[in-house]
Structure 1
Amino acid sequence: MDPDLQSLFDAARTARTRAYAPYSRFAVGAALRDADGRVHAGCNVENAAYPVGTCAEAGAIAAMIAEGGRAIREMLVIGPGPGLVTPCGACRQRIREFAAPETMIHVADGDGVRARFTLGALLPNSFGPENLTDA
């Protein structure tokens, strides 16, 4: 694995170990690299009122914003089990707010990267900030 991808993997794996998932026991971590090359990580945080929880991707994006970042260069999501843990629909739209359709999203488990998708493949024909600019 190249060093840049390894740094995302390591940050997401560490964040996953800190997830708060007492109800589903489905811990997820995410890490992104912003336009300045900084890595920001997040983990899922569940809540007894289920719709109030936060996804790992949302946590990583919030960390990026808090540090002054505004653009996602690439992202890695890591989760358990035999199925690919890709971003949920809401997170795909969250990512789209700060990433271009060609932005690479890596999907991993504890052993390494299992798949790669562009954001455009995960969220085709998406609605983004440019849709709200004046014509």
Structure 2
Amino acid sequence: MSLVDDARKVRENAYAPYSKFKVGAALRTIDGSVFVGVNVENVAYPEGTCAEAGAIAAMCAAGQTRIAEVAVIADSPEPVSPCGGCRQKLAEFASADVKVTLATTDGLLQETTVGALLPGVFSQDHMSRT
């Protein structure tokens, strides 16, 4: 099963009663483990969590910290890219060349990288004073 398939399958479990916009994400770590996440909304909209953040949280909870590949899927006319916050979260755990596949439920695919999604990444280097 591909990461897009994993994201597609978990997307059905998204909790999106307000926006009706379900998103699924799957990521593979460098050891081959796969973690998935969905967007979770609440009545204090727009408070909630993104699918990518959920997958990252599951990865960290399992003791993993390095992403090797990512897939995100939504029912949209064009592939939907992670929000700015999730781009920064992905960049925390993935190198710039990590492949990101963006997909629609109709089968449209767009491949990119973490670096292309967030060219001006804020990194730990910005916080060091040498």
Name 2:83's counterpart in structure 1. Answer: 88
Name 1:78's counterpart in structure 2. Answer: 73
Work out the number of aligned pairs and report it.
130
Q: CA deviation at 1:24?
A: 0.5
2:4 matched to 1:9? Answer: yes
Mark the CA change 1:112 to 1:133 in structure 2 (over 3 Å): closer, same or farther: farther
Counterpart secondary structure, 2:92: helix
The two structures, once aligned, show a CA RMSD in angstroms of 1.4
The range that moved more, 8-17 or 112-121, is: 112-121
5+ long unaligned stretches in structure 2: none
Q: CA deviation at 1:125?
A: 2.5
Q: Is the 8 A contact 1:35 1:72 kept in 2?
A: yes
2:48 matched to 1:53? Answer: yes
Name 1:116's counterpart in structure 2. Answer: 111
Name 1:43's counterpart in structure 2. Answer: 38
2:6 matched to 1:20? Answer: no
Name 2:93's counterpart in structure 1. Answer: 98
- Structure 1 distance, partners of 2:126, 2:6, is 33
Instruction: Tell me the amino acid that sits aligned with residue 35 of structure 1.
Output: I
Q: CA deviation at 1:115?
A: 0.3
Q: Is the 8 A contact 1:9 1:112 kept in 2?
A: no
Instruction: Tell me the amino acid that sits aligned with residue 125 of structure 1.
Output: G
Counterpart secondary structure, 1:50: coil
Q: CA deviation at 1:110?
A: 2.1
Higher helix proportion (structure 1 or 2): 1
- Structure 2 distance, partners of 1:134, 1:7, is 42
- Structure 2 distance, partners of 1:100, 1:22, is 34
- Structure 2 distance, partners of 1:116, 1:104, is 7
Counterpart secondary structure, 2:46: helix
Residues 3-30 of structure 1: CA deviation (Å, up to 9, x unaligned):
xxx4311211111000000000000000
Q: 37, 59, 68: which is aligned to 2:63?
A: 68
Return the TM-score normalized by structure 1: 0.89
Q: Is the 8 A contact 1:106 1:113 kept in 2?
A: no
- Structure 1 distance, partners of 2:27, 2:11, is 14
Name 1:3's counterpart in structure 2. Answer: none
